[in-house]
Structure 1
Amino acid sequence: MNLGTRVGLKLGKATRDAFGEALRDLGREFPDVVVVDGDVSNSTRTEWFAKEFPDRFFNVGIAESNLVGVASGLAASGKIPVAASFACFLLCNAFDQIRMSVAFPRLNVKLVGSHAGISIGEDGPSQMGIEDVALACALPGLAVLVPADEHATRSATRAMILHEGPTYLRLGRPPVPVVYDESFEFVIGKAYQLRAGHDVTLVANGIMVAAALDAAEELAGRGIQARVLDMPTVKPIDEEALVAAARETGGIVVAEEHLHYGGLGSVVAMTVARRYPCPMAFVDLDDTYAESGAPDDLLRAYGLTAERIVEAAESVVARR
């Protein structure tokens, strides 16, 4: 990944790797944590938990609906189940089971979708979870988390385990730039300002946070001071941070590795329209599926870049 070069961000671990490490460590601390996986533990990195706690790990095979059912039963029995698979398999294949067996009874199931977005690369569109945030946000009571880097992911995994209620954690396949340090504390429902600015606000999550920081640096060279907000919790959204951004900077650009409808941009737009309307623009996948290719090539081809964020910010500033 070539994101974040202008601001000198170092390339760190993939968020799925950070999750796997954090989950294994949390298993030592929380004996009620159990893991259910859909035969992809070598990809979701739950295999690291399985090696240390084999009696607390359950591989249900390629059967995501059954995976969710098993997880809900474990939650009803007082365990803290982490149900992991690829984001598209978990949210798309098993949506009805998540709806009826997790969200409706509000059971304490921790859903984890790895390999989200088009940055999985060569695996192609059948395995790209690009609708997952919209599906997760549609379910009442479900918290939706999209951390930006390895340190945020480790802390988000702990926050997910401690949170009482159903949660969805979105993870990626490729290594990503390091935005935070090891002291970072993830708080569900909180936005994090990474750069000050008064001309426009760039709101992003996941891999697009590094791209937003990159864009802000380029904008500064053009005389535009952009505030950068990492919004790692899509639901519940940090409304006050968005209202302050709209009021103090007069315009917002939202960047996400997701389809145009139903994701972070939709949630931000609903909040801003209701609380403090301002000009907005959106950098996302629009209304299309992607294709197979190298991750960086796909991100460029579909406009998930700092350059596209710069263009969107300049258009917003012009409309203020």
Structure 2
Amino acid sequence: MTITFIVGTGRCGSTMFSRVLQAHPDVLSMNEFFTSLAARGNEVFQQRALDGSEFWSLLADPTPPFGAFAASACRSAEMIYPYGSGRFRPEDGFPAISHMALPALTPDPDALYDHLAETVPAWPRRPAADQYRALFAHLGQRLGGSVVVERSGASLAYLPALYALFPEARFVHLSRSGPACALSMSRHIAFRSLLLRTEAMTFLQLASPFDITAAHAADLPEHLSHLAGDVDCERVMRTAIPLAAFGHLWSQITTQGVEDFLRLPPDHRMALSYEHVLDAPEHHLGQLADFLGTKPDPQWLHEAAASVIRNDRPPVTDPETLHACAPGTRALEHQTRVLATTAQT
């Protein structure tokens, strides 16, 4: 199956694209699949051999950050497992792929989980990338879909790891205005948690924000100490974080991401602007379908275009935030110039 990754900074309209692609009859839309696993760190992207049982553990074992989000009233709209009515509970832990990936594929994610739990552990030992490919192919055969599209928030940050695992894959860079992304990030539990965890990681001189353990609680400042245990999500949402900090985060992901994106083979990359899609949805969604290797089904295209809704919010005018977003904005302008030159040649 052809694999395409939609990558971006997060809060760039990619959730809308997942919803649109889920409605396409030829697309297996793996919504937030790698986001669900990324809290495990580098092991998710390591080029190593796994047997079926090891691979299933990678997919199904709970990830603490998402478990804390799920148990909180602050969990994000992307977390669509039927919390409260589904089988899994906070005290037992939620399987990583059950938060976002499985419920986007079926109205009965627990049944699909049970099927995979019976099937995947028996798979032979093979490279991790081949296990992922086998999973996508298996789901495509079971649920329908001739092409796979994986879309995860902030996946632009690990584009090189994805390309190393899947050198045959295609990549769509979905971008959005930096100040608008920063504002949306500032209201999102995962991005607020990431900034605070990064602050704690720097304070503790650790290599990863996910290396923080309960043993670090006494060493952290009071406003960060709860990150060493069961994260207090309400406290994360209350903690004062300057909007400009999210602008810097957006710029950091964007500047490095553009550099990585432009290293891809020209026929394996496509750039989309969220704002451009809002202005001409049928045109850009049709181009996207062509790039994915499927047809822009007329009924799908019409319904998808109608589902694209513009949220007209006042623009961000805070000078510090605009300044923080400036490097990322310049990187996107550079990307546009390079792609235009490549298209001409």
TM-score range, shorter chain: under 0.3
Higher percent of residues as strand: 1
Task: Determine which structure has more spread, i.e. the larger CA radius of gyration.
Answer: 2
Q: Which has the higher contact order (CA 8 A, sep 6+)?
A: 2
What TM-score, normalized by structure 2, do the two folds share? Answer: 0.25
What TM-score, normalized by structure 1, do the two folds share? Answer: 0.27
Higher percent of residues as helix: 2
